[in-house]
């Protein structure tokens, strides 16, 4: 699905995401470095040339870039191909950067982790094989303990199809920037965090049989994506199975595992609901997320200042596009699950109480072990503030999750929230 990118100012119209098969995950770029994104640019500002003001007219941007040599940057998104329903993850970001730069920056999108897997992407960024990439620091909690603390603390936040995910994503981005230890974890690897933490979609269970009551969990073989989620599944009586996502469909088909605990969007693309059509979800506290991040290599810091600003300023478009697609994918998941003869049900009250109690304990312990005991309170404070703004902007849930395909608008747009997040949370880190 083609999506016209929006600049910060003036914004360009974009089509909203809704429950169509072409709608799924996308994410974006912003730039920074530990302690403030302007650091690297400041050091070489004389050589890098002048930048442009936030919100500048396109003519001012063109003037700032006029004398700069064209450049090509390599970007590795999470999508498998441009034709994939996750394709906007790559194409939207590339188009946003190329459009704002007036064609001076060419984005070479490399699909399907062809240059480096998630386990190798940090090295590829550091040595210059990749300039920009989507990474999964949650897969390496011992290397990113502060990052993991925020990801785990997200399990304590209230969840709902629209307002809950918008709030969690905004709060997560803010908490990432506001936690120096998170930024230092990237800096220690010679990486520049672009989006230091991206919550993406909430977690649900997708099972071959309905999983709602406490007894249903006993002995269930459940594929998990993080150690924290594995601990939560164990607490409920399930047996966590560490399995790479591409192997999950076949494992469910063969009965090797009974459920997948994860995000709905990638499972829509994978066709998971053909073999696991029963969705279970929380309405209050939830599961620890395997959060991601957008990261640049050191080559980013060597770009002229105005080029860094072009990349950074695409963040508002990136955030709003990502949330539109991830939330829209939930409606698609409900459609697919019900069409396959499945069910979409909240977990029973006793299950949700157990999840919430353990989430709080796990969040506190993980943060203390990481040396950032203030993280849960920081995230909760950010979530309260963003929940108010989300409501003020009119982004509310129109009904029950089970009926989401009926009430979720195909024209839903979160450009206003993306702009607010950028101005309030990102702008202080803008290269200057």
Question: For residue 291, is pLDDT > 80?
Answer: yes
User: Tell me: the pLDDT tens digits for 27-77?
Assistant: 333 333 333 333 333 333 334 568 999 999 999 999 999 999 999 999 998
* Alpha helices in 163-304, H assignment, sequence order: 163-178, 180-187, 214-217, 227-235, 248-254, 264-270, 298-301
What is the Cα–Cα distance from 358 to 332, expressed in whole angstroms? 30
Burial class (CB in 10 A: 0-12, 13-18, 19+), 36: middle
Q: pLDDT band at residue 366, thresholds of 50, 70 and 90? A: very high
Q: pLDDT band at residue 254, thresholds of 50, 70 and 90? A: very high
Kindly state the average pLDDT of the residues 96-104: 95
Query: How crowded is residue 87: how many other Cβ atoms within 10 Å of its Cβ?
Result: 23
pLDDT score, position 422: 92
Residue 154's Cα: distance from chain center in Å?
A: 13
Question: For residue 25, is pLDDT > 80?
Answer: no
User: What is the assigned CATH class of domain 39-202+290-331+375-405?
Assistant: alpha beta
Q: Say which residues have a Cβ less than 8 Å from residue 235's Cβ, sequence separation at least 6.
A: 354, 358
C-alpha count within 13 angstroms, C-beta hemisphere, residue 58: 13
What is the Cα–Cα distance from 402 to 338, expressed in whole angstroms? 9
pLDDT score, position 325: 83
What is the Cα–Cα distance from 127 to 61, expressed in whole angstroms? 30
| Pairwise pLDDT comparison (218 vs 322), residue with the higher score | 218
Lowest mean pLDDT among 44-48, 96-100, 139-143, 243-247: 44-48
Query: What whole-number percentage of the chain has pLDDT above 70?
Result: 88
Question: For residue 227, is pLDDT > 90?
Answer: no
pLDDT score, position 330: 93
| Pairwise pLDDT comparison (49 vs 277), residue with the higher score | 277
């Amino acid at each position: 699905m083609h999506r016209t990118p929006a600049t910060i100012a003036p914004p360009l119209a974009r089509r909203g995401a809704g429950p169509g098969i072409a709608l799924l995950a996308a994410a974006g770029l912003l730039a920074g470095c530990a302690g403030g994104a302007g650091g690297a640019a400041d050091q070489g500002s004389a050589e890098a040339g002048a930048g442009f003001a936030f919100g500048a007219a396109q003519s001012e941007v063109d003037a700032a870039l006029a004398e700069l040599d064209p450049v090509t940057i390599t970007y590795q998104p999470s999508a498998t191909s441009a034709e994939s329903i996750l394709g906007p993850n790559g194409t939207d970001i590339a188009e946003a950067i190329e459009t704002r730069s007036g064609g001076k920056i060419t984005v070479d999108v490399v699909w399907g982790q062809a240059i480096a897997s998630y386990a190798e992407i940090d090295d590829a960024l550091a040595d210059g094989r990749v300039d920009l990439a989507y990474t999964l620091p949650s897969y390496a909690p011992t290397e990113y303990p502060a990052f993991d603390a925020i990801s785990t603390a997200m399990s304590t936040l209230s969840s709902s199809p629209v307002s809950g995910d918008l709030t969690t994503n905004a709060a997560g981005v803010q908490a990432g920037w506001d936690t120096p230890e998170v930024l230092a974890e990237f800096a220690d690897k010679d990486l520049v965090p672009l989006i230091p933490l991206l919550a993406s979609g909430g977690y649900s269970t997708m099972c071959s049989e309905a999983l709602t009551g406490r007894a249903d969990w006993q002995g269930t073989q459940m594929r998990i994506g993080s150690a924290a989620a594995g601990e939560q599944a164990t607490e409920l009586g399930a047996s966590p199975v560490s399995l790479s996502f591409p192997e999950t469909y076949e494992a469910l088909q063969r009965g090797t595992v009974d459920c997948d605990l994860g995000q709905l969007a990638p499972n829509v693309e994978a066709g998971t609901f053909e073999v696991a059509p029963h969705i279970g979800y929380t309405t209050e506290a939830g599961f620890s997320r395997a959060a991601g991040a957008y990261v640049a290599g050191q080559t980013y810091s060597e770009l002229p200042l105005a080029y860094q600003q072009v990349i950074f300023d695409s963040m508002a478009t990136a955030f709003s596009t990502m949330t539109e697609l991830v939330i829209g994918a939930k409606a698609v998941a409900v459609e697919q699950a019900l069409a396959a003869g499945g069910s979409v049900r909240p977990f029973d009250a006793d299950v949700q109480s157990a999840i919430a109690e353990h989430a709080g304990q796990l969040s506190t312990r993980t943060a203390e072990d990481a040396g950032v005991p203030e993280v849960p309170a920081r995230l909760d404070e950010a979530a309260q503030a963003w929940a108010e703004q989300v409501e003020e902007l009119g982004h509310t849930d129109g009904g029950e999750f089970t009926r989401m395909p009926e009430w979720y608008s195909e024209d839903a747009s979160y450009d206003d929230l993306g702009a607010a997040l950028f101005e309030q949370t990102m702008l202080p880190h803008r290269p200057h």
